[in-house]
Amino acid sequence: MRHFRRHADALAQRRMRVDGLADVDSVRTHLAISPIMSPACVPTMPPPRILPWPRPAWPSPDPAYLGDKLEPRLAKRSMPCGTQVVATEPLAPEVARSLIPQNYCVEDCNYLLDYYRITGDNRLLYGGGVVYGARDPDDIDNLIRPKLLKTFPQLKGVRLDYRWTGNFLLTLSRMPQFGRLENNVYYMQGYSGHGVTCTHLAGKLIAELMRGDAERFDAFAKLPHLPFFGGRNLQIPFTAIGAAYYQLRDRIGV
C-alpha cells in the first residue's frame, strides 16, 4: 500500500494529464501498473514471426483477461476475443505515401472493423477481424489478405512478411469495467481493443483512489454492465450469430 501511495503522490505533484502522448512515458514511470497493449499498437520495427508452442497442461492466465476460473463474477460479463494483424514487405516510399497520404492511423466504421497504418520502415500494418473465444486461427493470411486487398487493391501480389494474433477482452457495451470485489480489491478490465489509451486513465484513477479520492473511479464503477447472452457456454455462438447479422448489414450498406 505504501508503494502505491508513493506513486499516487508523485502523480498528484506532477499534475500530469493522461490525454496527451507526451505524458504516457511519465505515467509509465510513476505508476506501477503496466498497460496491456492492443495488437495493433506495435513498435515500428517489425515483430518476430509467431510460431506455435506447446500448450501447458494446467490453466494459465491470459494477459488479456482473468478467465472464469480465477474470478467467475467478472467472467460472465466479458468475453475473450482475438484479432489478427499482418505486416507487408517494405514498400517503396511513394507507394506507402499514396496509401495513406496524411500518415494517419485508420480504423473503419464497420461492426467488425479493420485498422491499418504505415510503419516507420514503410510497411503496411493491417489488422482486422474478430475470433470470438480467442482461439488461434489456422491461417491468418487467408483471414486478413482479402480485407487488405479490398481496401488497397493496388497491393495485389504484395508479400506478407509478418503475421500474428493477439487477445483482448470484450464487453457487451464495449465500455471498460471498473469496480470493487472487496473493500480493498479493485478490478479494471474489458477495454474492448482500446487498452493502450484507456489503461493509462485506469492507472490514474486507481492512483487517485489510493489517495482517498474515489470520485472519478466511482463514476466508471457505477456504469451498468450486462452479461453476455447465453452464459459462459453459449455466449460465443450467440455473439457470433449477432456479429454475422451486423456484418451482413455492413456489406449491403444498411
Digit-coded pLDDT (tens) for 191-220: 888 888 888 999 999 999 999 999 999 999
Is the residue at 120 inside a domain?
Answer: yes
At which residue does the C-alpha cell 492466465 appear?
61
> Cβ neighbours of residue 32 under 8 Å, at least 6 residues apart?
3, 4, 7
How much is the pLDDT for 81? Answer: 83
How much is the pLDDT for 16? Answer: 37
Whichever domain contains 112, its CATH number is: 3.30.9.10
Is the residue at 106 inside a domain?
Answer: yes
Q: Please, are residues 102 and 193 in contact by the beta-carbon 8 Å criterion?
A: no
* Count of domains for the chain: 1
How much is the pLDDT for 204? Answer: 93
Distance CA 22, CA 40 (A): 20
Is the residue at 202 inside a domain?
Answer: no
Is it the case that residue 38 has pLDDT exceeding 80?
Answer: no
Phi, psi of 130 (to 5 degrees): -135, 130
How much is the pLDDT for 209? Answer: 92
Domain of 95?
79-170
How much is the pLDDT for 65? Answer: 58
Is it the case that residue 136 has pLDDT exceeding 80?
Answer: no
Is the residue at 137 inside a domain?
Answer: yes
Q: What is the mean pLDDT of the chain?
A: 74
Is the residue at 196 inside a domain?
Answer: no
How much is the pLDDT for 95? Answer: 97
Is the residue at 87 inside a domain?
Answer: yes
Is the residue at 116 inside a domain?
Answer: yes
- Letter for the amino acid at 190? G
More confident position, 165 or 72? 165
Is the residue at 104 inside a domain?
Answer: yes
How much is the pLDDT for 52? Answer: 40
Question: What's the pLDDT band for 166 if we cut at 50, 70, 90?
Answer: confident
Element (H, E) at 247: helix 231-252
